[in-house]
Structure 1
Amino acid sequence: MPAGPGSGVIRRNTLRQQIADALRDEVLAGRLPCGHQFTVKEIAEQYGVSATPVREALLDLCAQGLLDVEQHRGFRVHAFTATDYRAMVEARTLIVEGIFRTRAERALSTAPPAVLMSIRRRAEEAERAARAGDLDVLIGYDLRFWRELGSLVGNPYISDFLDRVRVQSWVFAVPLLRRATDLRGRLWHGHRDLVSAVVRHDLAEAQRLVREYNEHSLALVGGAC
């Protein structure tokens, strides 16, 4: 069957997203460290694709605050500072507390059971990885957990902004945390307690757990600086 008139755009946009996701994972894992420079040509050759979707993907990551455009030199992985990290933690605290304070009751009352079950599974996997000190596994499940929890509010602007801040937080924290020889028992693992508090509509406890989590993050990363 011949391709439709928009199929080329769909394929290109899909490739663009795949490249952006792959590079974001590389940055999150620390395999593309802060300050690392590269060109569109280098990435295109690495993935065996044309320059156009690569350039679009890199610009998407610039818009997410993960890359900087280097005049006449390509792109560079953005270097976040400790001051940036403290501001990120403050921002995500305000976002989540605002969600719980103004929208959580309505969101929970209309959330399908399958969605809550999925969030609970994400919480279990994130907690298991955190207790084991498995940073790579934790990052993936932690981001999915907060993404799904944030989606309950039904406002894509809020959930997208929360996701962006959380990704940036991990980008700063990962290189510092990797300096530790053993992270077992040191990473926050209250995901299931938070889900339980949210499901039973104990929003005060949910807010307490979020504050505890963010205070823990600041103390852990601060100790690694």
Structure 2
Amino acid sequence: MNLPSQPPPPLGAVTRRVENLRLQVSEALRAALISGQLRPGMVYSAPALGEMLGVSATPVREAMFDLVREGLVEVLRNKGFRVTELSDRQLDQFAHVRLLLEVPAMGDVAAASDDPEVAATLESLRERAEQVARAAHDEDMVRFIQLDTDFHTDFLALAGNEELVKIARDLRNRSRLYGLEAVAKAGLLDQTVAEHSQMIDLALAGDRPGLEALVAQHIGHVRTLWAEPAK
């Protein structure tokens, strides 16, 4: 029997690796669902999704059960997972709640921008904004959703309310942007992506009214520009 050339990794390292893979798969599937790449009413098997992501069916199945608990998909016995459908009314309500919560919170960030730590964090978000822009340019909607969500939640976190950040992330995860891919292909994401840098500039300038107006406009894209195109 040949001995391995290197000792096996500690059990804890293996466990962390498995957990990280499950988290990565879960985030990728959630982003694919939000962006409309996984369509409502369609049934998807774990092996098929695993092949799409380049992983085995096991982490996909575990990740899909995470999405089941979030109400994003449902289990069909011996068939796979079906993406749940949301009404326009539900999606409108998600956007409305985001307006109520995120607009004043972002205004609070502008009001706190004279804090050196807040200002430094805002400047650091420029790199994230550039990453979002590159994902949009590459029409990589899964990565776009992941980076866009991180940008906005990191920005909101500067308001100092962790519960609000959790709610905002949950509302984003439950939303559906079925028209996003078509918008990207048409090159119409440039304007909304550019708004990220404008948000940073307005916050650093302490322009609360300006930032609040821009955030309201930005969230409005979810139910207009990014919504399902009329059939």
TM interval, shorter chain, is 0.7 to 0.9
For the Cα contact (< 8 Å) 1:93–1:214, is it kept in 2?
Answer: yes
Q: Say yes or no: does 1:14 pair with 2:34.
A: no
For the Cα contact (< 8 Å) 1:177–1:224, is it kept in 2?
Answer: no
Per-residue deviation, residues 119-171 of structure 1 (Å, max 9, x unmatched): 123335546777x69573754542232132123234443223212322433xx
Per-residue deviation, residues 86-128 of structure 1 (Å, max 9, x unmatched): 1111121122124235566458726355522221233355467
Separation (CA, whole Å) in 2 of partners of 1:7 and 1:13: 10
User: Cα 1:95–1:62, aligned 2, differ >3 Å: closer, same or farther?
Assistant: farther
Aligned partner of 1:210 among 205, 212, 215 = 215
Aligned partner of 1:49 among 44, 50, 56 = 56
1:203 is aligned with what amino acid?
A: R
Per-residue deviation, residues 50-94 of structure 1 (Å, max 9, x unmatched): 63x433311222334432233554321222221122111112112
Aligned to 2:32: 26
TM-score using structure 1 length: 0.74
TM-score using structure 2 length: 0.73
1:74 is aligned with what amino acid?
A: G
For the Cα contact (< 8 Å) 1:107–1:153, is it kept in 2?
Answer: no
2:209 is aligned with what amino acid?
A: A
Unaligned runs of 5+ in 1: none
Aligned partner of 2:105 among 99, 121, 141 = 99
Per-residue deviation, 1:48? 4.8
Aligned partner of 2:170 among 161, 164, 176 = 164
For the Cα contact (< 8 Å) 2:75–2:81, is it kept in 1?
Answer: yes
Q: Which moved more, 1:31-40 or 1:120-129?
A: 120-129
- Kindly, what percent of the aligned residue pairs are identical? 25
For the Cα contact (< 8 Å) 2:72–2:83, is it kept in 1?
Answer: yes
Quote the RMSD (CA, aligned, Å).
3.6
Between Structure 1 and Structure 2, how many residues are aligned? 221
Q: Secondary structure at the match of 1:201?
A: coil
Unaligned runs of 5+ in 2: 1-6
5 Å matches for 1:40-79?
Answer: 40=46, 42-43=48-49, 47-49=54-56, 51=58, 53-71=59-77, 73-79=79-85
Q: Say yes or no: does 1:85 pair with 2:85.
A: no
Separation (CA, whole Å) in 1 of partners of 2:28 and 2:13: 22
Per-residue deviation, residues 160-200 of structure 1 (Å, max 9, x unmatched): 3212322433xx22346627972437853422222111122
